Amino acid sequence: MHRVRRIATDLMNKYPDRFGTNFEQNKKTIVELAIVRSKELRNQVAGYIASHLNKQSKSSEENLESQGEPPDSLSSEAE
């Protein structure tokens, strides 16, 4: 697990705009960016990245809700 986390963290730090919450897209991106010797390792890294980014987005949404701001507050202010 430490190897998967280290590889995923390195890739996310080097290419933060290339990864998202989509597992399939992350697999394709890893093939383009890195040499991964096994399909199993590639899938583990792609899954870790997707899971990590999902957790980050959920925690940021929860932080906004706990502050009392609705997620669409910007669009209602513009009107």
CATH of the structural domain 2-78, one choice from 3.90.79.10, 1.10.60.20, 3.40.50.720, 1.10.10.10: 1.10.60.20
pTM of the shown model: 0.75
Q: What is the pLDDT of residues 31-46, one digit of tens each?
A: 999 999 999 999 999 9
pLDDT at 63: 79
pLDDT at 71: 59
Smallest Cα–Cα separation from 23: which of 61, 52, 50? 50
Question: Please, are residues 52 and 23 in contact by the beta-carbon 8 Å criterion?
Answer: no
Q: What is the pLDDT of residues 44-63, one digit of tens each?
A: 999 999 999 999 888 888 77
Token pair belonging to 11: 């890739």
Instruction: Check pLDDT > 80 for residue 76.
Output: no
Q: Residue 3's Cα: distance from chain center in Å?
A: 17
User: Where do the structural domains in the chain lie, given as residue ranges?
Assistant: 2-78
* Mean pLDDT computed over 4-21: 95
